[in-house]
Amino acid sequence: MSLHAQHFFTDLLDLPVHERRVIGDTCYAVITPDSPLRLRLEFAQTIREREYGGLRLSLLHSDRGAFDHAYLSFADHGTFAVRDARLGKQPGHDGYGVVRDWHHDDTSPWIGAAVIPLSHAIQDYLKVWTPEPPPTSSADSARRRPAQLDTDPEPARGGWLTDADFLTRLHQATPVWLDIVDSVLDDGLPLTQALTGSREHAAQLLDIPPAFGLLIEAEAAARIVHAAGLPASTLRGASVAKGLSHIATLPIEDQHHLVRAAARGSTIDPPAHLPGQTRPAPPLQPSPARTR
């Protein structure tokens, strides 16, 4: 399994740096255009081969080389808190708070990972060494808009329907949440329970204010029901609840197909054994000819 370093360092981590480059599994960043300081980010290996428990930060000077180091553990920053809670892992258990590169599966290990606390810790670390907050490049600003988790007001009743900024964030976060739902269905978690996790983890996983978590759940549920070709007239309406109850009775493979179709925004033909539908009667077989 690849560590997907390019995706992790350039797309997921919100680094207030001028420029960054990923070489192998290491990220090098130019903090400000005129500064001699460079930031190096690496995955910190545990005592086990190809098992990593956090990030190792190093500050480099163009003339003096490395002069400061820091370590940020995944466990301390809750990076895999949702995954470990789902698997029943606690501190001291094998695999708790770590990421491994042991398998050939190309699935990203960062699906469902909460990287915002790591980003904040790196930002705090850089503030120690820079007198002013380093500017963010236009490319980084376009790639990621940090959520104002502490200042965004509670959504007014119905006001989110006309808020263009919120609708953009809603539509961007919903496919991400559907990917997470798809990844946890294999662990035996019921579909409805997999959907409700966005209420508690919206801030960390989806980079939106916690108050919007319920709306992400509702939008994802409506998309799944729509993908099955069932009525889904309004968010969290009776038709959505009825559709979900039907879908939850399907084989897990069919649920996977519907969730993935919802993430793509497409509709697939509903399975023949969807509750409420009747199977077609088998054609009558001709009677064998009689012989004298």
Q: Give the model's pLDDT for residue 262.
A: 80
Q: Which two tokens stand for residue 189?
A: 């978690």
Q: Give the model's pLDDT for residue 70.
A: 93
Query: Could you please report the per-residue DSSP string of 220-277?
Result: HHHHHHHHTT----STT-HHHHHHHHHHTTS-HHHHHHHHHHHHHT---PPPTT-TT-
- State which H helix or E strand residue 70 sits in: strand 65-73
Q: Is 0.75 surpassed by the pTM of this model? A: no
How many other C-beta atoms are found inside a 10 Å radius of the C-beta of residue 25? 17
Q: Give the model's pLDDT for residue 131.
A: 59
Q: Give the model's pLDDT for residue 29.
A: 93
Q: Residue count of the chain, please give it.
A: 292
The CB-based long-range contact list for 210-215 (8 Å cut-off, 24+ gap) reads: 210/149, 211/152, 211/154, 211/155, 212/155, 212/160, 212/166, 212/169, 212/170, 215/155, 215/160, 215/170
Distances (CA, A) of 173 to 106, 137, 263: 22, 23, 10
Cα torsion through 67, 72, 73, 77, rounded to 10 = 170
- State which H helix or E strand residue 187 sits in: none
Contact present, 44 and 71 (Cβ < 8 Å): yes
Each of the 292 residues of the chain gets a pLDDT tens digit; together they read 478 899 899 888 888 888 999 999 999 999 888 888 899 999 999 998 888 999 999 999 888 888 889 999 999 998 898 888 888 888 889 989 998 876 666 778 888 788 889 999 999 888 888 755 545 554 555 455 444 444 444 444 444 555 566 667 667 777 777 777 777 676 666 777 777 665 556 556 666 666 566 677 777 788 888 887 776 554 445 566 777 777 778 887 888 788 888 877 755 554 444 444 444 445 555 555 555 4
Considering only CA atoms, which of 179, 174, 238, 171 is closest in space to residue 202? Answer: 174
Q: Give the model's pLDDT for residue 58.
A: 93
Which residues is 27 bridged to in the sheet? 22, 41
Q: Give the model's pLDDT for residue 236.
A: 47
CA distance 210 to 203: 5
CA distance 273 to 281: 13
Cβ neighbours of residue 262 under 8 Å, at least 6 residues apart?
178, 220, 223, 224, 226, 227
Contact present, 246 and 238 (Cβ < 8 Å): no
